[in-house]
Structure 1
């Protein structure tokens, strides 16, 4: 239950920034390096949505994904773009003096993420960036954000009941639930709604552009 929102923690890829084509590119690069055949776009999107890409990975999938998330910042794709409404959503938070922290499963320098946010015109609206390079907390879920969420709470001195986490993946919702913050999902990550709800999403939005109206309702209900 959110008492009074002070902090909104946001996922980066497929939540604020559309990098799904970069994901496909890096995934295929790594499949090739591991001696596996590349996957075409239609099959990739289908398996991405079904969360079955592990079936294409030869050997240990966990070590594959660890290397994948380390490499993600070193590659760009011409179709990378900020989602419609991302800037306005962040502006809305700033107008209400709510802090905005961006977290990412990428294991790269925060400076690399700041650079991308700047390229997409979002950096000046963000208060903090946390990546997996900042977090040593282990979790059985490869893409867990629980440790990063706790770091963000500590950084801003905010209680979990005063924070919202916005993400696109079921692991994002599970991570938020474990950290005790309010999980909000967006559908721009191709994740089925039922899976997001199953893992704790309190609301499932079409995209980041719907976040202001949702948070307005939450704030009004808490007063």
Structure 2
């Protein structure tokens, strides 16, 4: 049976946001007298929520300082959310094709819920997402499957009829724990080896390959 729903990670999967995340965190680090990091390093800092990002970018063990960095980061990022962030090539068109075939679309990110909704609305206003969620109080972050399963329930689709698409081990672990079809994309923040090691059932290197992974013949999937 064809997949009835596709859940997507946001950063590194639908949108290229690394430069803005790095700029915001480096601004916060400078503000607090700390050394910065090259943008490329942030590929391995992101994926598990902003506090994990801060713990990787800032000195360990000072939770009070981390809280101050969080406040500075969030304020800066709120003002610079769209400076350099763009939708990856072909993604908007691929999403429109999926929706046209009756596939329900949703976003599930570990980014703060407000920022997640702002980016989706601002960059993909014409994509008919059934639901868009980021990190919310009381809901565990990925790779805990709770939010993904709750989202499948909201869409009235069995987990086995859902794909979970992402660019990191966090996303592939989420798919595996939720019993969803895990599709890894290579244009994001991590590589093929990480995706495969964490259970990716298909790998896409382009938006067209992602379409095939989600809608092609079963043997292609």
**Relative to structure 2, which stretch is displaced further, 213-222 or 17-26?**
213-222
Could you tell me which residue of structure 2 aligns to residue 126 of structure 1?
129
- Aligned pairs for 1:1-223 (under 5 A) are 3-41=1-39, 45=40, 47-49=41-43, 56-60=57-61, 64=66, 67=70, 71=74, 73=78, 75-109=80-114, 112-133=115-136, 136-138=138-140, 144=143, 146-219=145-218
Contact 1:5–1:219 (8 Å) recurs in 2: no
Higher relative contact order (CA 8 A, sep 6+): 1
> 1:115 & 1:158 partners in 2: Cα distance?
26
Gaps of 5+ in 2: 47-52
**Relative to structure 2, which stretch is displaced further, 27-36 or 180-189?**
27-36
> 1:179 & 1:74 partners in 2: Cα distance?
35
Deviation at 1:33, TM superposition (A): 4.5
User: What's the TM-score, normalizing by structure 2?
Assistant: 0.79
Deviation at 1:49, TM superposition (A): 4.3
Deviation at 1:24, TM superposition (A): 0.7
Gaps of 5+ in 1: none
Task: Give CA deviations for 1:39-91 in whole Å, capped at 9, x if unaligned.
Answer: 233xxx1x3445597554212499959948x9355532422111111111111
Deviation at 1:6, TM superposition (A): 0.9
Deviation at 1:213, TM superposition (A): 1.9
**Relative to structure 2, which stretch is displaced further, 31-40 or 167-176?**
31-40
> Secondary structure in 2 aligned to 1:106?
strand
> 1:159 & 1:61 partners in 2: Cα distance?
43
Task: Give CA deviations for 1:16-35 in whole Å, capped at 9, x if unaligned.
Answer: 11111111112213323554
Contact 2:18–2:43 (8 Å) recurs in 1: no
> 2:151 & 2:44 partners in 1: Cα distance?
30
